[in-house]
């Protein structure tokens, strides 16, 4: 790497919107190589001077420390805030981790593979055809662009590839055989962990019916049909619009079935599943917000009664 400019400085800090995510703020004469080094350690561009790293395994402080070492090795000044340093020095563990026989490094190897799968789905390099629940966890079938078709098992940091196939037809046929009536079209709804890892509020891209959790400035395979996107946070104000979309899709499916356009029916059904999923997300959030907890607070009338019943002390 060319000798860095003397005023070039990187500041690593925790992202306030997500406790474990890390930001890298670049000051001075930034170079493409500096950004490439940060990108190689999982950082994504947020704006001209800031990059952010948010992972599904909550190991951002560990990988931020690796980024610090790589940057310092190139002679770049790096400052780590005390808050992030505390997170780096704290060994964070998954509660009730399902593989206690694995060492810490073996767990990290697994989560690295899971992160790569997550990123491939997020950036449209891996297209998910269908998903199901096998009674224990989520399973899915998908195809890499210019690559093999695969079966996936698990969620978040535990997702793994289980089987590869030469073409999508074989993969989907075997998936249907294994999971039968449990199969649903398209990707499974994003988990809470995946939504958080998709980016902070500042990273989300506005779309017509909500905000996309993909990193700012990156393409989305679902740009023209955003309700298919597993990273979309639907906007409650756009619920009526989503209902219109769902009703329109139902009408188009009925028309396609009547006309015998069966190739079009499949794509419309995937879109319908996405629209219904976003409506379900909105309804679930509304129910959660509308659930009141009675704390037993007295009313003003009750307070007044209690006050009036108190006898004045004898003079």
Q: Each residue of 155-187: pLDDT tens digit?
A: 887 789 999 999 999 999 999 999 999 999 888
Name the pLDDT band for 106 (thresholds 50, 70, 90). Answer: confident
Residue with tokens 């400085």: 9
pLDDT at 66: 92
| Orientation angle between helical segments 239-259 and 262-290, nearest 10 degrees | 160
Q: What gap in Å lies between CA 285 and CA 277, rounded to an integer?
A: 12
In angstroms, the Cα distances linking 313 to 118, 302, 303, 307 are 71, 22, 19, 13
Digit-coded pLDDT (tens) for 8-65: 889 999 986 556 789 999 987 766 778 888 988 888 877 678 888 888 888 889 899 9
pLDDT at 141: 95
CA 283 to centroid of chain Cα atoms:
20
The model carries a pTM of 0.56
Residue 201: pLDDT above 50? Answer: no
pLDDT at 177: 95
pLDDT at 271: 75
Digit-coded pLDDT (tens) for 242-286: 788 788 888 878 877 887 776 667 767 877 887 888 788 778 777
Digit-coded pLDDT (tens) for 129-155: 999 998 889 999 999 988 999 999 988
Domain range annotation of the chain: 9-89, 104-188, 194-289
pLDDT at 78: 94
Residue 123: pLDDT above 80? Answer: no
pLDDT at 259: 75
Mean pLDDT calculated for residue range 107-131:
85
In angstroms, the Cα distances linking 284 to 121, 196, 271, 294 are 25, 18, 20, 20
Digit-coded pLDDT (tens) for 208-226: 455 555 544 444 544 444 5
């Amino acid at each position: 790497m060319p000798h860095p400019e003397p005023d070039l400085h990187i500041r690593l800090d925790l992202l306030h919107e997500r406790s474990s995510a890390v930001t890298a703020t670049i000051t001075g004469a930034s170079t493409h190589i500096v950004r490439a080094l940060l990108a190689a350690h999982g950082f994504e561009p947020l704006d001209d001077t800031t990059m952010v790293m948010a992972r599904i395994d909550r190991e951002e402080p560990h990988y931020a420390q690796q980024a610090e070492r790589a940057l310092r090795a190139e002679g770049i000044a790096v400052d780590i805030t005390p808050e992030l340093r505390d997170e780096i020095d704290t060994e964070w563990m998954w509660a009730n981790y399902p593989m206690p026989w694995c060492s810490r490094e073996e767990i990290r190897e697994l989560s690295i593979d899971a992160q790569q799968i997550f990123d491939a789905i997020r950036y449209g390099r891996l297209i998910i055809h269908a998903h199901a629940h096998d009674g224990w966890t989520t399973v899915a079938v998908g195809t890499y662009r210019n690559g093999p078709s695969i079966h996936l098992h698990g969620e978040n940091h535990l997702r793994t590839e289980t089987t590869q196939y030469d073409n999508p037809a074989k993969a989907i046929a075997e998936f249907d055989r294994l999971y039968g009536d449990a199969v649903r079209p398209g990707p499974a709804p994003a988990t809470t962990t995946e939504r958080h890892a998709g980016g902070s509020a500042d990273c989300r891209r506005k779309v017509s019916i909500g905000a996309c959790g993909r990193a700012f400035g990156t393409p989305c395979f679902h740009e023209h049909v955003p309700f298919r996107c597993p990273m979309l946070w639907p906007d409650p104000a756009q619920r009526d619009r989503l209902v219109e979309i769902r009703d329109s899709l139902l009408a188009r499916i009925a028309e396609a079935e009547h006309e015998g356009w069966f190739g079009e029916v499949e794509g419309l059904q995937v879109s319908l599943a996405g629209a219904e999923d976003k409506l379900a997300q909105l309804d679930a959030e509304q129910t959660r917000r509308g659930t009141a907890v009675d704390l037993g607070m007295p009313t003003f009338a009750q307070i007044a009664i209690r006050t009036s019943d108190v006898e004045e002390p004898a003079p």
